[in-house]
Amino acid sequence: EQVTESLLSPQDSDTTIPIDETLQFNESLQSAHRGMDELIGSGTNILQGLRDQRVTLKGTHKKILDVANMLG
């Protein structure tokens, strides 16, 4: 009985798991992960906006060239 009790209640601080530190580290990792997801999402939206602007500018450029050709 004494052996079982000594195994269940560790006397050495090296055998304890720092749960609070582990939870805090995990929360920090999750927060960083969310931040990276938001950053990637923002980058994707910016890139799509630039693509849309490119299409608009190409269309405008074509119309200007068409008008210039009509005017001679």
Domain edges within the chain:
35-71
pLDDT per residue over 1-60, tens digit each? Answer: 555 555 565 555 555 667 888 889 999 999 999 999 999 999 999 999 999 999 999 999
**pTM, two decimal places:** 0.59
Distance of alpha carbon 2 from alpha carbon 9, whole angstroms: 11
**H-type helices in the chain, by residue range?**
2-8, 19-71
